[in-house]
A and B are shown apart, each in its own frame.
Chain A
Amino acid sequence: AVVSTQSTGKKISKDTVSRLEEFALYLRESKKERRSYVSVVKTVNVFRDLICTSEWVTARELIKIIKSYCKYLPLSQSNETDVSNVVRRILKIIREENAGSEATSFADGLSSFFKSDMKASSIGRPDLQDNILNSIVELLSELETSKSNIINMALEHIHSNERILTFGHSNTVRDFLLHGRKARDFEVIVCESGPSLKGHKMAAELSDGGIKTTVIPDSSAFAIIHAVNKVIIGTHTIMADGALRAPNGVHQLAMAAKYFSVPVIVCAAVYKLSPTHLCSYDPDAFNKVIGPENMLNFSNEKLHSKVLISNPDFDYVPSDFIELFITNTGGHAPSYLYRIISELYHPEDYDLDNMCVEAVEDDICI
């Protein structure tokens, strides 16, 4: 298949097309156990490919191409925020390299942050492409070291003989705690996070790493939380105001922690920080409701098709419940995150579906 853009008539090679399609398929299919770090690195590589092989002259054209490809990906589903965030990082890199030495600052006035800096630049494609690719290599190394940056802060936050409560399974939190175990002796209580029971996996991994672990059902969280020193959790996404889209059950845990004034600490890399806000609690807009086969047996004929079963995958946790975010750029209060967003992403990319008027006429037909 050959891809062409209608207005410019330029073509993208078959190779690139097959890689793009493969990536789109990967996102569509791997709904369940997708590790966000792996897909983020994949995303960067695919888009690096797209930048090198597609036909563009100006940065504006390149951005149009990238955004058109994004329309083809299932990015609007709540599962894919880390991919969207990395695409936004790449777009910001492109805009920055295009603006070159004319870095926007407050001296230019607040409007300079918002006006499109896509004026025709003096930098030609080869130089621009080189600069962009160099920055992308830096981005990749930042992604690679994000986990180690987070876990190196473990010793600042874990004391000896502490009791830490965690929820379900998170690769970041698990490595954070295992790193802390190397120097400190402490206990971990894991909520099993029904109905998926990911907490069992976390407990097995932690106790294999030498940490004394206790598994409790989620209903016991309120009963034991007053005896716990802190709550350390991972999250799926961090919203722009410091709220979380976290696995189902974290909101009630955070409520219980707040009731007893137990601090809640979230360990997450900065590529999970999304410049979107919660606009609606509807399942389609924010949440994802998955099949109830882990909640109730299909063989139960008395309840078959008579009972409405809800199995939401995510929970919205407002930012008032969170004490601290530990990210690869350091520890931040929820109120500081807006600053990080303005450094990482450009306002025009917050909504990836938004394209400037001319771009709407172009379409990549595959």
Chain B
Amino acid sequence: SSGINAEYGEIRSHLNIALKPCFSYLAQCRMMSVSMENFIKHIKLQITKTSPDLSDNEAKEELLFECENFFKENIYLAGKSISEKAVARIVNGDMILIYKKSQLILHILLEAKRQRKQFKVMVVDSRPDLTGVASCERLTAAGIPCSYVYINSCTYIMKKVTKVLLASDALLANGYVLGPVGTAMIGLIASNYNTPVIVCCETYKFSERVQTDSILYNELADPDSMLKTLNADDSLVAGWRESPNTRLVNLVYDTTPPALVSIVITEIAELPCTSAPVVLR
């Protein structure tokens, strides 16, 4: 940290002050996700906990080790643990529905394939970002038979699906699952057809916030990305900024009520949605 007096034990207060503008810059660029907020809280706590007897360099090394450790334990190893538990639930003959692209879910499916389980995957995608295509590409490259639909057709294909495997961005304290927009719809359709919904969530994504609807706390993505069409024609609302009556709203998240989720798999345990606050303690 340039320009800061490097005295013994002062790193605790000085580093916090130095990092503050960095965090606020990140928050200005884009709203922070729950996982980012949790990590920042964690690292701030580690900074205040550094022993005053350490030199600056030693303290910095310790903090860097803490960061690496956070990644290793909470993300990498947690992912492996969740993947083991989830793969155990996949049986031969399954048709598994996944939504868009998630590293964790793809990891689970590729691991299941490595363990020679016979299953098919139904990839549900939605506009405007269409990340499900990348999921399809990864899965077909690994030799897993895939089908691909838009979220509109979810009701059309749901009766063939045996399990729904969803990723999440956060698990709120009242049991609601924060995920990419459309997750709640899939949970609703699956529960109408009595298909189990399995949500995978690492504990670093658990949040103390409570929310009952998706609008109170959400993020708006770029509305112009909704204008992209796959054929050459322009969208008919392409001139929406000039029209005083037209608005495009592109939500990023939505919250799924706990009643629509069968089970949440975390690295610690497999629990019902409503047990999230127990883990937070």
Partner-B contacts on A (CB < 8 A): 192-195, 197, 200-201, 203-204, 206-208, 210-224, 226-227, 248-249, 251-252, 255-256, 259, 281, 287, 293-297, 300, 302-303, 306-312, 315
Contact = CB atoms under 8 A, between A and B. Distances in A.
B140 interface: yes
B29 to A, nearest CB: 23
B181 A294 contact: no
Contacts of B133: 296, 300, 303
B237 A204 contact: yes
Contacts of B247: 212-215
A302 B140 contact: yes
B181 A204 contact: no
Interface of B: 126-128, 133, 136-137, 140-141, 145-157, 159, 181-182, 184-185, 188-189, 192, 213-215, 218, 226, 229-231, 235-237, 240, 243, 245-251, 254-255
Contacts of B184: 222-223
B246 A201 contact: no
Given A302-B137, A308-B146, A194 B127 contact: yes
A25 B219 CA distance: 51
Contacts of B151: 218-219, 249, 252
Given A222-B184, A303-B136, A255 B156 contact: no
B184 to A, nearest CB: 4
Q: Is the interface of B mostly helix, strand, loop or mixed?
A: mixed
Given A214-B247, A306-B140, A310-B157, A204 B236 contact: yes
Given A217-B128, A222-B188, A223-B215, A306 B150 contact: no
Given A219-B185, A221-B185, A200 B236 contact: yes
Contacts of B136: 303, 307
A302 B143 CA distance: 12
15 contacts: A193-B152, A195-B127, A197-B229, A203-B246, A215-B240, A217-B127, A217-B128, A222-B185, A226-B213, A248-B156, A249-B153, A252-B155, A297-B230, A310-B157, A311-B150
B101 to A, nearest CB: 14
Nearest to A221: B185
Contacts of A296: 133, 148, 230
A212 B245 contact: yes
Contact of B230 (A195, A212, A219, A252): A195
A215 B141 contact: no
A306 B146 contact: yes
A248 B153 contact: yes
B188 A200 contact: no
A268 to B, nearest CB: 20
A219 B236 contact: no
B126 A211 contact: no
Given A194-B150, A222-B254, A217 B245 contact: no
A295 B237 contact: no
A300 B152 CA distance: 22
